[in-house]
Amino acid sequence: MTLSDEDKSILIAHRIKRADALISEIDVLIKTGYLETAANRIYYCIYYLLSAFALKKNYQTSKHLQLIGWFNREFVKAGIVPHEIGEIVYNSYDLRTKSDYDDFVVFSKGELTRSYSDLMKFMENIKKLIDKIE
């Protein structure tokens, strides 16, 4: 799909807005003990931000693992993004996969609180990258 520059900018802003909107939702989910749902929302917050960044870099895919692989190959392994940021993406994907597909999964509040903190680090880093791109 080819987007005009204006449409691309609108879509990038929309994806960032979706991610921003999830932040308070995730906080409430963790505080009220809906940890599996919080794991899902943490991942999707990262996914929205990562897909906005990818679009800004003219990369598009509908496949989550392709997007993560592209980010890891082009930015983490290349040393543009700290390894820790790449780990945050993989860890959130892993937690989301467990929460959505595994039976009898149990997360601790501490585990999701750390994942939420990691999300905030990821968000800060990826928004800076997005802002740097012309």
Residue type, 77: K
- The CATH number for 101's domain is 1.20.120.330
Q: What is the pTM of this model?
A: 0.95
- What is d(CA 35, CA 96) in angstroms, rounded to the nearest whole number? 10
Domain-located, residue 134: no
Q: Which amino acid is at 79?
A: G
How far are the Cα atoms of 7, 47, 104, 117 from residue 29, in angstroms, in the given order?
33, 18, 19, 14
pLDDT at 1: 65
Domain span at residue 114?
A: 5-129
What confidence category does residue 67 fall into, taking pLDDT thresholds of 50, 70 and 90?
Answer: very high
Tens digits of per-residue pLDDT, 78-123?
A: 999 999 999 999 999 999 999 999 999 999 999 999 999 999 999 9
Mean pLDDT (whole number) for 6-34: 96
pLDDT number for residue 133? 87
pLDDT score at 29: 97
Exposure pattern of 59-83 as b/e (b: 16+ CB <10 Å)? Answer: ebeeebeebbebbbeebbeeeebee
Number of domains, the chain: 1
**What is the DSSP track for 56-84?**
HTT---S-HHHHHHHHIIIIITTTSS-HH
